[in-house]
Structure 1
Amino acid sequence: MIAPFTRSEFRQRQEAVRAQLAELGLDACLITSPENIYYLTGLDHMGYFAYQMLVVPARGDPVLITREMEKAVVRDMAPGVRHIGYPDGSPAGGDRQVPIAKGAETLEPWPAPLKAAPEAIPPSIPVTRDTLAGIGLERGRLGMEKAGSFFPITVAEGIQQSLSEAEFVDASGLVDAFRIRQSDHELECTREAARVSDAMMLAAIAAAGVGVSKRDVMAAIYSEMCRRGGTYPGFVPLVRATTTLEHEHGTWQDYRLAEGDLLFLEMAGCVRRYHAPMGRLVYIGEAPPEAESINAICLDAAHAAADAIHPGVSAGDVYNAWQAVLDDSGLESYRRHHCGYSVGIGYPPSWSGSGVPVALRAGSSLKLEVGMVLHLMSWLLRSPLGDAFISDTVVVTESGCEFLTGVPCEVTVRR
C-alpha cells in the first residue's frame, strides 16, 4: 500500500506557492479548485460541490474555509491548516440542541441553528470577508482562481464587493503549474493507478460479447476497480457501442451488444486521486476486413508520438509526429483536436482537473518536462480507412517517455 503524503511534503508544496506569490507581488492566493486544495493540504472529500476556499498567504499558515459540517474531515485529512466553517442551515428538529451520546463519547451538537429560509447574502461571503480581513488581507493584492469550475459567481462577486479596498488579480493556473510535474511519490500513485487501469480494461474486454449488456461490462469494470484497490475516478468509465460511438463523452446505456458492433472502452484507474487513463476498441462477433490495417496505422501513430516525447520538446511537435503518420497513410484530411493531454489529480467530473485539458495540440508551444504524465491518444474515428482507438498513460522521463499502462493493442474480437 502506498504511504500517504506527509505534512512536510504539503509544507514544501505550500512554500513553492509562496515563492511564486512573492515573484508575482501577491499577498495571498485564493484557491477553490478541489485538485489544488488536495495538492496543498491533503483534503480528499466530495464536499467540494459546495463552496470551499483555501487561502495561502505570503506569510503565515494557510486557512481553509468550508461548510461547518466538514470540520471532522478537515481535522483528520488536513491537520496543517486552520479551518473556518460557515453555516448553511440546521437539521430538522427546531432550535433545541441535544448532545448525542455514542458509547463513552459525546458527539458535539450542531452550532447555533439557522432558519432554513434562503439568505439574501450567502453566509460564505461574510465568513470569507471576515477571514481575509482577520489575517490582514482586506487591502491586499489577492490572486484568485477565476477560471475554477467550483467558484460560484455570486460568491466571487460578493467577496470582491465586500473587500472593496483589496485588489483581485487572476491567478488561475498558478498551482496547476506545479501539479503538472509529478514527484517520485506522486508517480508511485500513478503507477499503481495504471495497474488498476490495466485490470479494469482486461475485465471489460473479458465481459464483452454478443448479447452482453453494456451494463454488465460496466459492472465488471467497477468490480475490478474496487477489488484492485482503486477508488472512484474523476470521470466515469466510457462504454459505448456502434450507435453511440461518436458521443465523445457518453457512456453505457441499457443496450445488448450485437454481432458487428464496435465497442469503445476508455477508463482510468484512480489511486489517491491520481489517474492513469487508457482506451481500446473491441469488435463484437467479428472484425471487418480493414481492422488490421487501420489498427496498424493507429498504433504506428501512437508510437511516433511517443518517440517524439522528450524533455524540452513542444506539445505541438508531438502532435505533428502523430499527424505525420496519418498523412503518410492517406489520411491527410483527418484531424483531431489533440493527441493527448496532461493527467494527474482529478475529481469528478474530470480526471484531468477542471476546465479544458492541457493538451498535445497542433501549434502548442508548451514544453514537456520530466515528470509530466500524459494520456497519449491515437484515435481514428470514422476515418476514410476505418475506426481505431488506442490510448495509454505515459510519463516524460530524462530519456524520452515510459508507458505506464500496458494492455495489448492488437485487434480484439469478442464473440
Structure 2
Amino acid sequence: MLPFEILEYQERLRKTKELMTKKGIDVLLITDPANMNYLSGYDAWSFYVHQMLVVMIDEAQPLWIGRYLDAKGAVVKTWMFDENVIAYPDFYVHSEDNHPMDFIASVFNQRGLGSKSFGVEMDHYYFTAKAFEQLRRNLPNASFKNADLLVNSVRMIKSDQEIEYMRRAAMIAEQAMYKGVDSVRAGGRECDTAAMIYYHLLTGTTEHGGDYPAIVPFLPTGQNTSIPHLTWTDKQFSEGEAVIIELAGCYQRYHVPLARTVSIGKPLDKLQNLAPIAVEGINDVLTAVKPGMTCGEVESVWRNSIKKYGIEKESRLGYSVGLNYPPDWGEHTASIRKGDTTILKPNMTFHLIPGLWFDTYGIEISETFRVTEKGCETFTNYPRELLINTPFRLDQQGGIIS
C-alpha cells in the first residue's frame, strides 16, 4: 500500500514538469532516492547500486530503471504501470566492463530520446562522475543541464498528509529522546545509550512503528561536546560530563530531528551559563517566524539575540527537513543563515539547531518546526532546557540501579 494517494503523486509530478519546462528540460533523470520516493513511492535499500527514475515531459508516468533484483520491489512500491519498470541484468552491477548507464542510455536511444535535453542531479551522493561520463559517451547527441535540487524545491512545501507523517515521527523522536536521556548515567556506556535510542526509534509508539533514520544518533561526550557530528564509542560516562544527543524520529521516511544536552550531575558553570542564552535565542526565533520572512531574516533574529552576550555562531542556524535517505535528513534547499532569500511559506518545515561549540565544551538544543498561516509550531514538546540527570539511575525506593 502506498503512503499517499495516486492523485498526490500526480500533482507532485505536475509541479516537477512545470519546472522542467521553465528550465528547458525534456527528460529528467532522478537518482536521489528521496526524490524517487517523492514522485513514485519507491522505497527500498537499493540505492547502493545505480538506479534512476526518468520523468519525460510528454509522458504521463515516469520510468523506473534499476537492478533486476530490485525490479519486483519497484512494481510493488510504485504507482506506475508494471511496464514502466525496466530492469538491467546483474552483470552490470559493480562491473569493470559494463556500467548500468550503458544500459540506461540504450533504453533512451531505443525510445528516440537520444537527442533530447536531459536534466541531471549533478551534485548528489548517488550519481557518480563515471555515471555522467558513461551517459555522455552513449548519448553523443543529447544535451545535459544541471537539474540539481529541482525536485527538492517542489518538496519544500508539505501536504497535510506529509505533515501528519512528521507529527508521527515527532512522537517517536520524543520517546527515543526520553529513553536515551534517562540512560545517560555515570558508569553507563555510550554505545548502550545509542542502542537504547535505536531501539525506541524503531519500535516507535504504540500507534506507529518507526523507520530507520537517515543519520545515526550523534552522541559527543565531555570535551567532545565541542565537536558536532561525533557518534558513540564504548567509553563509560563519568559524573560531571555533559552529553549531547541529536536524533530524529522517522516515519514513512519523514524525519523530525531533535537535539538536547544533558549533564550527569552538576553542570559546568560555563555550560549552565550558556544554556539560558541558547534557549532565549531559540524562543526569540520561534516567536518571530512567520510566512513572508526570508530565511536570512530568521537568522538575524538569532544573531541579534546572542550578540547581546558577545557570542557569534559561524555555522547556519537550520535547514529545510523532511523526506530523506542516508546520509542526510536535510532537503539541501533552504538554509536558515545570513543571505538566504528563501521566503517562508505555510507547511515548510525546518530543523532549527542553534548549536554553540567552543574549545572544550558545547551545547545543542534544537526544534523542528512547521511554518503556519500566522507563525510557526514545533513538532515536539520536549523540555527546552539544559537537562540534568542524577549521576546514577535510581529505583522507586531511591536505591542505585547498577
Q: What's the TM-score, normalizing by structure 2?
A: 0.91
- 2:216 match: 236
C-alpha distance in structure 1 between counterparts of 2:203 and 2:343, whole Å:
38
Deviations 1:233-283 (A, max 9, x none): 000011120142233221110110001111010000000000000101000
The amino acid of 2:374's aligned partner reads S
The code of the aligned residue for 1:337 comes to S
Counterpart Cα distance in 2 of 1:161 and 1:117: 19
Q: Give the structure 1 partner of residue 89 of structure 2.
A: 87
Q: Is the 8 A contact 1:258 1:285 kept in 2?
A: no
The offset of 1:325, in angstroms, is 1.0
Query: Is 2:378 the counterpart of 1:403?
Result: yes
The answer on whether the counterparts of 2:221 and 2:243 sit within 8 Å (CA) in structure 1 is: yes
Deviations 1:88-110 (CA, angstroms, capped at 9, x unpaired): 23xxxxxxxxxxxxxxxxxxxxx
**Distance change in 2, residues 1:22/1:330 (3 Å):** closer
Q: 1:370 aligns with which of 343, 346, 349?
A: 346
Alignment check: 8 A CA contact 1:66 1:86 kept: yes
Gapped regions of structure 2 (runs ≥ 5): 392-402
Asked whether the 8 Å contact 1:280–1:391 carries over to 2, the reply is yes
Percent identity over the alignment? 30
- Aligned-residue offset at 1:291: 4.1
Matching residue of 1:153? 129
2:163 aligned residue: 187
TM-score normalised according to structure 1 size: 0.88
Whole-angstrom distance in 1 between the partners of 2:79 and 2:315: 42
1:211 aligns with 2:211: no
Matched, 1:250 2:230: yes
Superposed displacement of residue 119, structure 1? 4.1
Name the CA distance, whole Å, in 1 between partners of 2:147 and 2:355.
34
Q: Kindly provide the CA deviation profile for residues 363-411 of structure 1, in whole angstroms up to 9, marking residues without a partner as x.
A: 2212111111100112222289x74321011011111110111210233
1:99: which partner in 2? Answer: none
Q: 1:247 to 1:292 in 2, by over 3 A?
A: closer
Is contact 2:2–2:78 with CA below 8 Å preserved after alignment? no
Shift of residue 67 of structure 1?
0.7
Shift of 1:218: 1.0
Please tell me whether the aligned partners of residues 319 and 352 of structure 2 are also in contact (alpha carbons under 8 angstroms).
yes
State how far apart, in whole Å, the 1-side matches of 2:294 and 2:255 are: 23
Q: Choose the corresponding residue for 1:338, options 300, 316, 326.
A: 316
Q: What does residue 16 of structure 1 align with?
A: 15
Q: 1:361 to 1:175 in 2, by over 3 A?
A: same
1:175 aligns to 2:177 (yes or no): no
Query: Does the alignment pair 1:201 with 2:201?
Result: no
- Corresponding residue for residue 142 of structure 2: 166
1:160 Cα deviation (Å)? 1.2
Runs of 4+ in 1 over 6 A off after TM superposition: none
In structure 1, stretches of 5+ residues that fail to align are: 90-113
1:75 is aligned to 75
1:84 Cα deviation after fit: 1.1
1:24 and 1:289, CA in 2 relative to 1: closer, same or farther beyond 3 A?
A: closer
8 Å Cα contact 2:226-2:362 kept in structure 1 = no
Instruction: Report the counterpart of residue 32 of structure 1 in structure 2.
Output: 31
Deviations for 1:195-245, whole angstroms, at most 9, x for unmatched residues? Answer: 111111111111111111111111211121122111100000111201422
User: The residue matched to 1:17 in structure 2 has which SS?
Assistant: helix
Q: Contact 1:395/1:403 (CA < 8 Å) preserved in 2? A: yes
CA displacement at 1:290 relative to structure 2? 4.1
Name the counterpart of 2:274. Answer: 294
Q: SS of 2:168's equivalent?
A: helix
